[in-house]
Amino acid sequence: MMSRRAGTIWIAAIAAAALWTVGMGDARAKERRVATLAPAGSAWMNILEKGANKIAEATGGRVKVKWYPGGTQGDEKDVVRKIRQKQLDGAALTTVGLSLIYPGVRVMQLPFLFESVEEVDYVRAKMWPYFEKKFEEQGFKLLYPGDVGWAHMYAKRSIQSFDDLKKVTFWAWTDDPIVRAYFEQIGVSSVPLGVPEVLTALKTGRIDGCYGSPLAAVALQWYTEVSYATVEPFGYTVGAMVVRLDAWNEMSPEDRATEQKIGKKIGAMLIKRVRRDNDRAKRAMQKNGIRFVDTPQALRSKLEAEAQKLWKRLAGKVYTEQELAMVLKYRDEFRKKRASK
């Protein structure tokens, strides 16, 4: 049995930024309440706690954080609500949680949008200033980015054709309209569930397929209920750290600068770690009998074509047409630069 300490889909790199959301500008230390779905005792939380200690030391104890790990404050929808109600001060969120603050950020997780992590990094860096402004308009400070990783499909049967795909009933995250809309468009059955419900649904047969990064499949024990996985991912999931803007503005410029300097290093380290551990989780799953199967070109072409139709269909509803145009422009810009080298 693989260790639950591997981490979780919610995550490593994203949760990292919680280190940067804490502190007061005066001489008194004020504890900041930060929630994350990353489990207590995981390798990720160990790193984050060490980083928090460094920040506390560098700020003379003025910057402290109170962790609420492992979903103890609820799913991301609950966490965002509690931040708005000032029961919490910040959170490490996936794209799903971030979209509950500003819906347009969902444009970053469109299916079959990216082909490499280099593309992800380039487009995210270009879009970051835009999203910073949008989040500030909603009363939130968008701090540093993080990764969840490539999302693969997992199922109890091999998916080698469109007919195979239609025989699978997939999980669809309740608060993720993009995946639900995509499954609906390609004619695949799905059941809306919260993340904590997925494992039980797999065990009882309510669903027989799910999706996520290999690290998620291991950490959440989904791999124990499936036999197959797709080699080719169908999307990339990102995330970020947010804090209530008023809480951020309470801090002194000096303490903010200190947190950002240390937090930037911790964040970069954790992004690198989550990518590495996703590869390790995939190999571990294979050793435990999970077969990663190539998607036939005919099926992949069909899925990509349907995804591109979805991009256009959701523009003006889930995100703006301008946001879709921006993301595609930067993605194509990166591809052109790479091709010219």
Express each pLDDT in 3-33 by its tens digit.
444 444 444 444 434 444 443 344 456 788 9
- Residue where the block lists tokens 């993301």: 327
- Rounded Cα distance between 291 and 40, Å, is 30
The residues with which 141 forms a beta bridge, in sequence order, are 243
Express each pLDDT in 64-102 by its tens digit.
888 888 889 998 999 999 999 999 999 989 999 999 999
Report all structural domains of the chain as residue ranges with CATH numbers, in order of start: 4-340 (3.40.190.170)
Q: Which two tokens stand for residue 45?
A: 């939380």
Report which secondary-structure segment, H or E, holds 292.
Answer: strand 291-293
Confidence of residue 104 (pLDDT cuts 50, 70, 90): very high
- Rounded Cα distance between 29 and 207, Å, is 48
Q: Which of 64, 80, 65, 6 is nearest to 38 (CA)?
A: 6
- 3-state SS assignment for residue 210: strand
Average pLDDT over the chain reads: 88
Express each pLDDT in 294-341 by its tens digit.
999 999 999 999 999 999 999 999 999 999 999 999 999 999 999 987
Q: Which two tokens stand for residue 268?
A: 């970069």
Q: Residue 88, class by beta-carbon neighbours within 10 Å (0-12 exposed, 13-18 middle, 19+ buried)?
A: buried
Confidence of residue 265 (pLDDT cuts 50, 70, 90): confident
